[in-house]
Amino acid sequence: MNECMMRDLAMMLIKKYNVSLSEALDILYNSETFEKLQDERTGLYFQSPVYVFDFLQKELSRNQ
């Protein structure tokens, strides 16, 4: 399940921000959102990729 989520999030980053696959994965793996996805207590990994991507976008806009 987690692999599918990461794939979907990476693809959304590529489309939205026009970045390469390696850049998208770098953004994702170095994000707070990724940390929360890894923490089973948050339950974030049960959400849809679209919901998690919205969460990630908010994090990215905060950090700019």
Domain boundary assignment for the chain:
2-62
Coil, helix or strand at residue 63: coil
- Structure tokens belonging to residue 28: 């994702």
| Residue 17 CA: distances (Å) to CA of 9, 41, 42, 61 | 12, 30, 26, 12
pLDDT in single tens digits along all 64 residues of the chain: 578 999 999 999 999 999 999 999 999 999 999 999 999 999 998 999 999 999 999 999 998 7
Q: In angstroms, rounded to a whole number, what is the distance separating the alpha carbons of residues 4 and 61?
A: 24
Q: Give the chain's end-to-end CA distance (angstroms, integer).
A: 30
